[in-house]
C-alpha cells in the first residue's frame, strides 16, 4: 500500500486504509474517504492534491494525503 499522493493525475484508485488518530479518520470519513471507496486524482502539485470522491472535489494537503493508503 502506498499513500494516495503517489497516484498519478487522472488515475482512479481504491482506498485500502486510513491511518492517523480517531479524530483524523473521522474527519476524512465525513468527507467521503472510506475504505473501498474509489477516488480520482484531478490535480497534483508538490504532494498537495485535488481529488474527486463521491461526486465532490476536495483539496488535500500533503499531510492528509499521506494518511490515505491505496
CATH number at residue 59: 2.30.30.90
The pLDDT score that the predictor gives to residue 34 is: 96
Range of the domain at 50: 4-69
For the chain, the distance separating the N- and C-terminal CA atoms, rounded to the nearest angstrom, is: 5
Distance CA 26, CA 22 (A): 6
Note whether 51 and 39 are within 8 A (CB): yes
Mean per-residue pLDDT, 24-43: 96
The total number of structural domains in the chain stands at 1
The pLDDT score that the predictor gives to residue 46 is: 87
Is residue 59's pLDDT more than 90?
A: yes
The pLDDT score that the predictor gives to residue 47 is: 80
Distance CA 7, CA 21 (A): 23
The pLDDT score that the predictor gives to residue 52 is: 98
Place 15 in a pLDDT band, splitting at 50, 70 and 90: very high
Q: Is the pTM of this model over 0.85?
A: yes
3-class secondary-structure state, position 2? coil
Amino acid at each position: 500500500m502506498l499513500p494516495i499522493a503517489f497516484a498519478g493525475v487522472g488515475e482512479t484508485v481504491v482506498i485500502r486504509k486510513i491511518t492517523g488518530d480517531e479524530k483524523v479518520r473521522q474527519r476524512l470519513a465525513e468527507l467521503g474517504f472510506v475504505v473501498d471507496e474509489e477516488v480520482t486524482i484531478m490535480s497534483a502539485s508538490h504532494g498537495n492534491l485535488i481529488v474527486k470522491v463521491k461526486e465532490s472535489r476536495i483539496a488535500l494537503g500533503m499531510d492528509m494525503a499521506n494518511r490515505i493508503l491505496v
